[in-house]
Amino acid sequence: MLLETNERTVADEARALQARYGNLEPADIIELAIDHLFNEEIAVVSSFGAESSVLLHLIAQVDRATPVLFLETGKHFPATLRYRDELVGELGMTDVHDIHPLQQTLKDEDPYGAMSMTNKDRCCYIRKVEPMARAVAPYRAWMTGRKQFQASTRNALPVFESVGERIRINPLAQWTSADLQNYMVANHLPPHPLVAEGYRSIGCMPCTQPVKEGEDARSGRWAGSDKTECGIHLTGLTDQLSNISLTDSSL
């Protein structure tokens, strides 16, 4: 009952933050979140994908010690891992965490590492949703690089939203693809090497393919299936986190 009350309070807080600050520029939102709203209780989740450099660069201008959480599913393109190391070094981020799936769960449920071919939802759950809940549990808030333009399912994405007892912040929600490109060029940010090969949203290797001009950037993810999100931004994460109060980050 107390948890439900806390969640309602946090949902009200997210709505109030959205009404007051939802139209600020990304740099101002990030500074506000890190320096004033959630000081030392905030992290950023990054996929080190096609446009990840923008959010990380903006955060590095405020605090290079902001924790960066990377879901190391074990299924990434080698190019993504190299890009991650290069970008982290270039931006000087000092607190990067690889978040792994539970080894016992992998042994029990996916001993051959082929679950992405037979049950993508479960594969994403054990490799992304559960690890993500474990990773963000110690924080009061986390930032993501999600944008409204990326897919029709993200058209109404707010900057501030609640996830159980915690706040999720999408500082770039209202930026367009052109805004991101301009920012990358102006700040000499290195592109993910696979962008040149037509990949515009980059996740795990078995579930990512290039997209054609004019298609949703995310249409190359889980192409050929109904799946559009891995679940770390959906209710599965909320359900996981609903079992972890802010005073219990031991999951």
Do residues 48 and 70 make contact, with C-beta atoms less than 8 angstroms apart? Answer: yes
Task: Consult the annotation and say whether 245 binds a ligand.
Answer: no
Interaction of residue 206 with ligand SF4, rule CB under 6 A? yes
Helices (H), the chain: 2-21, 26-31, 52-62, 78-91, 103-109, 115-118, 120-124, 130-136, 177-186, 235-242
Q: Where does residue 143 rank: exposed (0-12), middle (13-18), buried (19+ CB within 10 A)?
A: buried
Query: Is 230 one of the annotated active-site residues of the chain?
Result: yes
Interaction of residue 203 with ligand SF4, rule CB under 6 A? yes
Interaction of residue 57 with ligand SF4, rule CB under 6 A? no
Task: Consult the annotation and say whether 207 binds a ligand.
Answer: yes
Task: Consult the annotation and say whether 124 binds a ligand.
Answer: yes
Spot the catalytic one: 230, 232, 241, 244. Answer: 230
Binder among 14, 143, 230, 232 for ligand SF4 (CB under 6 A) = 230
Stretch of 44-52, 121-129, 138-146, 239-247 lying at the interface with ligand SF4 (CB under 6 A)? 121-129
Q: Token digits for 30?
A: 């990030």
Binder among 14, 34, 50, 124 for ligand SF4 (CB under 6 A) = 124
Q: Token digits for 217?
A: 């950037």
**Residue with Cβ nearer ligand SF4 (74 or 190):** 74
**Residue with Cβ nearer ligand SF4 (120 or 168):** 120
* Nearest residue to ligand SF4, by Cβ distance, number only: 204
Total residues in contact with ligand SF4, by rule CB under 6 A: 13
Task: Consult the annotation and say whether 11 binds a ligand.
Answer: no
Closest CA relative to residue 234, chosen from 127, 128, 139, 147: 128
Interaction of residue 201 with ligand SF4, rule CB under 6 A? no
Give dist(CA 105, CA 107) in Å, integer: 5
DSSP one-letter code for 170: -
Q: Token digits for 12?
A: 């009200």
What are the residues whose beta carbons fall under 8 Å from the beta carbon of 221, sequence distance 6 or more?
Answer: 201, 203, 207, 208, 227, 228
Give the residues lining the site for ligand SF4 (CB under 6 A).
73, 75, 116, 120, 123-124, 127-128, 203-204, 206-207, 230
Catalytic residues: 230
Bind-site residues for [4Fe-4S] cluster: 123-124, 204, 207
